[in-house]
Amino acid sequence: MPEFTCRLGTPSGDIVTRIVEANGVEELRQRLQSEGFRIFAIERPMRRALQSSALGGVKIKPQEFLLYNQQLATLLRAGLPLLQVLSILIRRQPPGAFRTVLEDVERRITRGGLLSEAYGEHPDVFPRLLTASVLAGERSGELDAVLERYVNHAKATAAIRRKLVKTLTYPAILTVASIALVALLTTYVIPKFATLYESSNSELPLVTVYVVAVSKAIESNVYWLGPTLLAAIIAFFAWRRTTQGRAILDGLFLKVPVVGDIIRQSTTARFCRSAATLLNGGLPLLESLDIASEVIGNRRIAKTMPDVTRGIQEGQTLVDALERAKWMPALATDMIGVGEKSGSLVTMLDEVAQFYEAELDVKIASLTALIEPIVLGFMGTIVLIVVLALYLPILSFATGGAAR
């Protein structure tokens, strides 16, 4: 009997993920509904084949996915029926995994299903935030408006990501260049000069002795040092992908000056915008918070969100629960508290998101100003040490020859 991974809401209000055996989706859906569960998503076994094919060759690009949602919202706002809109968008899609998914979505809607239910069958393609937003839009009858809000949210998130990538690209290039320079000097340039110095039988400056010794040590051990370093790098990245490794690194990143502030502010912006999108669509607060917490990339911060939800269930206000989590900036919690008391929580969450998206520009500029001098200073120091080590003996030989 095939197994299905189900995302369910329990009668007590909790949201759980369970693996359930059933002969088919409809049988499973009826059984779960009869037991009082609310069904958010059911992952079918066939999707694993689709996922593996996508990973093997075709991968859905974020720009492609954003364009699809933008076109979907625009055509729905123009008054076209949903099935006609999907048919138009499918024809425009090139052959591949995403088109296959959209064709499956169209088939399910043709058989009488909802768009949110069809999206829920493909959680690896459609994020839960989008599925929940669509569900809220279907309930309120404002699907086009909800999709437009999701598109704006996705654009803002993509803009933050582009800024971070742009900021880190130049320092990364400088770092790679400095490593390549050091490798070239220690394995090729310095050994050439070392041979010249050894034949002179002269006393060498201390800096030259150390640099030549380091170069010889690297050159003589390169055949085992290289593979060991490569294995260490592979082991580090493998460890980083584990739950424990990711949590430890995320906790360390939060303690790094400037970097920690950027992570907190970007997480605050994304979380608040996601929660505002869901609340504006009509979803309950607890469900909105649970879904919005999935956009939190930092594991250390995400670990606090179940406590936030539990605190609200026990009668705490949203701002009190967030303050106890101790990761959101104080100004953000103050603004959320004002919105919660005045009954304008959605508006205030949007304001918080916009404010910290603007603040990120300043923090990212500060990070750039901090990283570039450090990397340039490191490169300059290495080059200076090597130049002094190579040319001080030559100057010494020339001075000694002139004196004689």
pLDDT of residue 190: 79
Structure-token pair, residue 295: 């956009």
Mean pLDDT by 10 residues, the chain (404 residues): 73 74 81 86 55 46 87 90 91 85 88 86 85 83 85 83 79 81 78 75 80 80 83 90 87 86 88 87 85 84 90 91 91 92 91 88 78 82 84 74 49
CA atoms within 13 A on the CB side of 108: 18
Q: Work out the number of other CB atoms within 10 angstroms of the CB of residue 352.
A: 26
Tokens 């290039």 identify what position? 173
Closest by alpha carbon to 293, among 75, 117, 110, 129? 129
From its phi and psi, is residue 81 left (phi > 0), alpha (psi between -120 and 50) or beta? beta
* Residues found in the chain: 404
Q: For the chain, how far is it from start to end, CA to CA, in angstroms?
A: 95
Q: What is the CA 260 to chain-centroid distance, rounded?
A: 15
pLDDT of residue 48: 43
3-state secondary structure of 343: coil
* Pair 110, 83: CB distance under 8 Å: yes
pTM for the predicted model, two decimal places: 0.66
Closest by alpha carbon to 94, among 143, 48, 58? 58
Largest pairwise CA distance in the chain:
104
Distance CA 265, CA 284 (A): 25
pLDDT of residue 217: 82
pLDDT of residue 53: 39
* Pair 139, 304: CB distance under 8 Å: no
pLDDT of residue 3: 65
